[in-house]
Amino acid sequence: MTVRDRTQAERTLSYVAAWTRVKSGSYLKSQFATSNINRRHRFWKRRGAQARVDVCASETAQLRCRHTQGEAHSLTHTITLIPGDGTGPEIVEATRRAIEATGVKIEWDVHEIGMSAMAKYGTPFPNDALESVRRNRVALKGPLTTELGTGFRSVNVALRKEFDLYANLRPAKTYPGVPSPRGDIDLVVVRENIEDLYAGIEFDVDSPEEREVQETIERLAKTKIREHSALAIKAISVFGSRRIVKFAFDYARANRRKKVTAVHKANIMKFADGLFLRVAGEVAKDYPEIAFEDRIVDNMCMQLVIKPDLYDVLVLPNLYGDIVSDLVAGLAGGLGVAPGANIGENGVAIFEAIHGSAPKYAGQNKVNPMALMLAGVLMLRHIGEREAGDRLERAIASVVAEGKEVTYDLKANRDDPTAVGTREFADAVIRRMRN
């Protein structure tokens, strides 16, 4: 096969993979037209080669290809690796080792984003790092530091906007051996990532812009805003609501989930949250096999604490999603075991641990890498390596259930001298996969 043919083959696989995601009901949207796929198929047919696609899962992002000679070639996945800040490099390294132990072929494209990049390059977003994510379309990211109360906005929020990562996927599941207030959690939170109060439309107290906006609001809303106020705008659109609710239903369908619950505060915010609820009801009509209901957000929080088994997939606007996803994570054992994925309509997906960078523990080989490892499980399934993802999850669950080679936070007594470090936890997971 010539170099040109190999290049064409790689492109063909990406087109076929994209179309397979659509046909399988994947939660990822495809940007490829069927005409492109058919054209690539005809290209290979003219050359006497046929590609047989093995769909590993409904969430396939990349595939395996077998040629007519019967020789199997598995793809090498190029993935952007962002070490992050604080303890990020340690848990990223532990996760990288565990993922590689599954046998999946990955070429890691390592780039810095965040405070470490700021110190080195004078910007938290070096162009090379952003282009790497844009080119590879899949990234595994360590936690990033955001300083509170400063003019510097969240690096995570900026990344979501840069790549239009509109869907934040937050599964929460109880694992035996993880200390948790409940033992029956199996929920998925789908949070809208771009709009709402997190859009960053704010006006500082007593600034000329704030005074102008305040005067306009008072005139149009016929209400008085107290002097010396800071303002934040809550904007929820039909477009943003429709695509996040559709994402939630597509995910439920692809993963055999039975119910989607839209969470809101439409009883008070009748226009903004009322729009979200109305659109959710319209989208639900296209999924008759999936039950749909809605809950007011404060009631939802109470319901999750006392009877979480009644719920399955929750879809929420940005602010509520941020709060409820952490609540659900707490019920399952805390942010230390909470993975997340940020998915964009343009095909970019960034996988991460939800917890912070914990800079006070940096370099101590102490923190639990389980959350990022579980994010690695999500990533493996996303790129079509479902069997490898399942093996990694089983290995993590087995090590945690046994309770011997786990970090201090997974011990009944956090001062237990038998607790292991970040590297040793990864070693135990890798051994479990190989046994």
Give CA–CA dist 297/36, Å, rounded: 44
Instruction: Give span(s): CATH 3.40.718.10, the chain.
Output: 78-180+346-435
Phi, psi of 154 (to 5 degrees): -60, 130
Q: Let me know if 128 is a catalytic residue.
A: no
Least confident of 4-13, 83-92, 131-140: 4-13
Q: Let me know if 265 is a catalytic residue.
A: yes
Active-site position among 265, 311, 326, 411:
265
pLDDT at 18 over 60: no
CB 277 within 8 A of CB 216: no
Q: Let me know if 415 is a catalytic residue.
A: no
Q: What is the pLDDT of residue 183?
A: 83
Q: Let me know if 360 is a catalytic residue.
A: no
- Ramachandran class of 188: left when φ > 0, alpha when ψ lies in -120 to 50, beta otherwise: beta
CA distance from start to end of the chain: 38
Structure tokens at 359: 């800079």
Over the stretch 63-108, which tens digit does the pLDDT of each residue have? 333 333 333 446 899 999 999 999 999 999 999 999 999 999 999 9
Phi, psi of 363 (to 5 degrees): 80, 5
Active-site position among 54, 128, 298, 416:
298
Q: What is the pLDDT of residue 154?
A: 75
Active-site position among 322, 326, 411, 427:
322
What single-letter amino acid sits at 289? E
Active-site position among 15, 27, 166, 198:
198
Say which CATH superfamily domain 78-180+346-435 falls into. Answer: Isopropylmalate Dehydrogenase (3.40.718.10)
**Predicted confidence band of residue 281 (pLDDT cuts 50, 70, 90):** very high
CB 308 within 8 A of CB 343: no
Q: Average pLDDT for residues 20-34, to the nearest whole number?
A: 38
Structure tokens at 18: 């994209």
Phi, psi of 269 (to 5 degrees): -95, 80
List of residues 6+ apart from 164 with CB closer than 8 A: 194, 344, 345, 346, 348
pTM (two decimals)? 0.81
Mean pLDDT of the chain: 85
Helix (H) or strand (E) holding 5: helix 3-23
Over the stretch 385-408, which tens digit does the pLDDT of each residue have? 999 999 999 999 999 999 999 999
Please tell me whether residue 341 adopts helix, strand or coil conformation: strand
Q: What is the pLDDT of residue 152?
A: 53
Over the stretch 194-212, which tens digit does the pLDDT of each residue have? 999 988 899 999 999 999 9
Alpha-helical (H) ranges within 177-317 are: 208-221, 238-254, 272-284, 297-306
CB 332 within 8 A of CB 182: yes
